[in-house]
Structure 1
Amino acid sequence: MSSNPNPGTARARLAAHCLLLLLVWISPGHAQPANPPQTDGRWLRFGVLPLQSPTKLADMFMPLVEYLQRSLHRPVQFVTAPSFTIFMQRVMHHDYDIVYLNPLLFTQAEKAGYDAVAKVLGEPFTGILVVRRDSPLHGIDPAQWHKGLIVGFPDPRAYAATVMTRGYLRTHGVDVTHCCRIRYFGSQDSVLMALNSGLVGVAGTWWPSLRSMPPAIRRNLRVIAETPPQPQMPIAVLDSLPAALRQDITASLLALHTHPRDRAILSKLGFPQGFIRARNAEYREVK
Structure 2
Amino acid sequence: MLTRRSLLLASAALASAAQAQSGALRLAVVPQFPALELHKAWSPLVEALQSSTGLKLELVLPGSIPAFEEGFLQGQWDLAYMNPYHAVMAHRAQSYKPLVRDDDPLSGLLVVRADSPLRQVGELMDRSIAFPAPNAFGASLYMRALLTEKHGLRFTPQYLKTHSNAYRAVAAGTAIAAGGVKATLDAEPSELRAQLRVLFETPATPSHPLCAHPRVSEASHKQITQALLGLTKLETGRKLLQAAQLDRIVTADYRRDYAPLESLGLDKYVQRN
For the superposition of Structure 1 and Structure 2, which TM-score range results when normalised by the shorter chain? 0.7 to 0.9
Aligned equivalents of 1:163, 1:115: Cα separation in 2:
21
CA RMSD in angstroms comes to 1.9
SS at match of 2:133: coil
| Contact kept in structure 2, 1:129 and 1:225, CA below 8 Å | yes
SS at match of 1:152: strand
- Greater helix share, structure number: 2
| Contact kept in structure 2, 1:154 and 1:190, CA below 8 Å | yes
The equivalent of 2:99 in structure 1 is 117
Please show how residues 136-151 of structure 1 align to structure 2 within 5 Å: 136-140=117-121, 142=122, 144-147=123-126, 149-151=127-129
The equivalent of 1:170 in structure 2 is 148
Tell me, yes or no, if structure 1 residue 214 matches structure 2 residue 189.
yes
| Deviation of the 1:98 alpha carbon | 0.8
| Contact kept in structure 2, 1:28 and 1:79, CA below 8 Å | no
**Deviations 1:169-213, CA, capped at 9 Å, x for gaps:** 2354242xx3x3321101111111111111111111001221222
| Contact kept in structure 2, 1:256 and 1:263, CA below 8 Å | yes
Aligned equivalents of 1:80, 1:200: Cα separation in 2:
27
| Deviation of the 1:110 alpha carbon | 1.2
| Deviation of the 1:48 alpha carbon | 0.6
Aligned equivalents of 1:224, 1:93: Cα separation in 2:
37
**Deviations 1:86-116, CA, capped at 9 Å, x for gaps:** 2122213322111100111111211303111
Tell me, yes or no, if structure 1 residue 205 matches structure 2 residue 180.
yes
Aligned equivalents of 2:98, 2:175: Cα separation in 1:
36
The equivalent of 2:29 in structure 1 is 48
Among 238, 242, 251, the alignment partner of 1:277 is 251
Structure 2 runs not aligned, ≥5 long: 1-13, 17-21, 265-273
Tell me, yes or no, if structure 1 residue 243 matches structure 2 residue 218.
yes
**Deviations 1:21-59, CA, capped at 9 Å, x for gaps:** xxxxxx968xxxxxxxxxxx8211111111111111111
| Contact kept in structure 1, 2:102 and 2:247, CA below 8 Å | no
Tell me, yes or no, if structure 1 residue 193 matches structure 2 residue 175.
no
The equivalent of 2:9 in structure 1 is none
Tell me, yes or no, if structure 1 residue 60 matches structure 2 residue 41.
yes
The equivalent of 1:261 in structure 2 is 236
SS at match of 2:243: helix
**Deviations 1:200-233, CA, capped at 9 Å, x for gaps:** 1111100122122222111111112211111211
Amino acid at match of 1:48: V
| Contact kept in structure 2, 1:124 and 1:232, CA below 8 Å | yes
Identity %: 26
User: TM-score by structure 2 length?
Assistant: 0.83
Structure 1 runs not aligned, ≥5 long: 1-26, 30-40
SS at match of 1:181: strand
Tell me, yes or no, if structure 1 residue 184 matches structure 2 residue 159.
yes
Tell me, yes or no, if structure 1 residue 102 matches structure 2 residue 83.
yes
Task: Quickly say closer, same or farther: Cα 1:277–1:72, change in 2 above 3 A.
Answer: same
SS at match of 2:207: coil
CA radius of gyration, larger in: 1
SS at match of 1:201: coil
Tell me, yes or no, if structure 1 residue 155 matches structure 2 residue 133.
yes
User: TM-score by structure 1 length?
Assistant: 0.79
Aligned equivalents of 1:271, 1:100: Cα separation in 2:
10
Q: How many residues align?
A: 242
